[in-house]
Amino acid sequence: MASQLDLTTSAITCVSASLSVLSGLAILWSYRQFPQLQNFTRYLLVCLTVADIFTAYGNFISTFRWFSNGNNATKTDGFCIAQSFLTTTSTLSSFFWTTAIAVYLFSAVALRVNIAEKPGVKLSMTAIPIIVPVTITGVALGYGALGEDDYFGSGPWCWINRDVNNRLMWKVVTGKGWEIMTYILTLVIYILLKFFKWRESRRHNRQFSWSDTDLSLRDADEIFEISWLFLLVARIWGTLRFFLETFDVHPGDKLQNTLLCMQCIGDSSQAFWNFIFFFTLDPELRKEIRHLICLRLHGLVHVHCSL
């Protein structure tokens, strides 16, 4: 039978991933339901959310492997490799689209160049975060790097085969290197955006809004300025475990298990955090949803509705 820690982390992952999938589907629904709120920023958010849904789904189905197989789940099998390919690819795509959003907003706000309007840019910013991760993960698959890692770097899901040569290199190439790069790039870009807003506000002696530079931007999109923060909060636990393993640091079982549990929550919850910040905290979206609900109630009990 699997250990108590295995069962606990599997249960945590299952709950976190389930919330993430449902939250991600709500974001996709809102994008389709309210075309008046669509712009390129939210289009990239949809792409990011799809990637996060796949990650959460892969982590979710991996928990059933632990629940059903117990200790036999520590052996690499076809299901494990397929799940690792899915979640490794989707996680890399998530990093790429997070960076793409930051680059697009910086170009539109600070440089006053809407790159989305240039021929081929939308296609490129959609295709590259898919093609490059698939290529990276495909190479890892070809070298037999994907498989069961026995919790060395992940939770109850498969990632890098614990028996592969140069395991540290594969972890950097298939995830951690891109993850840390995403932290740094998005933090720098959003600091520059903050500085630009401050400078423009002082220059014009009024509060600067993103829509002042490009009418295709919504003021509600300014919440993306802190997207790097909740990406960091969600995934820092796995990164800390990665560095502890890399430098052969052993802080004790209690801290190790705590970091593992936090990683099981964070690595599966990104679509949920997207929902919190870009769905529930979007005033225009909340207004449209309230109006939609009111219209539905109006058909039932004749409630008066107005925007």
Task: Give the DSSP per-residue string, 171-211.
Answer: HIIIIIHHHHHHHHHHHHHHHHHHHHHHHHHHHHTS---GG
The dihedrals phi and psi of 152, each to the nearest 5 degrees, come to -85, 80
Choose the CATH number for 4-282 among 1.20.1070.10, 3.40.1190.20, 1.10.20.10, 3.50.50.60: 1.20.1070.10
Residues 222 and 231: their CA atoms lie apart, in Å, by 16
Answer whether residue 307 shows pLDDT above 60. no
10 Å CB burial of residue 241 (0-12, 13-18, 19+) is buried
Provide the mean pLDDT of the chain: 89
Share of the chain above pLDDT 70, in %: 94
pTM reported for the whole predicted model: 0.93
Domain borders along the chain are 4-282
Stated as kind and residue range, the H or E segment containing 159 is: strand 159-160
Residues 134 and 130: their CA atoms lie apart, in Å, by 6
- pLDDT tens, 253-299? 999 999 999 999 999 999 999 999 999 989 999 999 998 888 877 66
Q: For residue 217, what are its two tokens?
A: 């931007």
Q: What is the pLDDT of residue 183?
A: 93
Residues 212 and 201: their CA atoms lie apart, in Å, by 11
What is the band of 306 on the pLDDT scale with cuts at 50, 70, 90? low
Q: Name the residue among 171, 181, 182 with its Cα closest to residue 137.
A: 171
Q: What is the pLDDT of residue 1?
A: 47
Residues 148 and 136: their CA atoms lie apart, in Å, by 18
Segment 164-174 mean pLDDT: 95
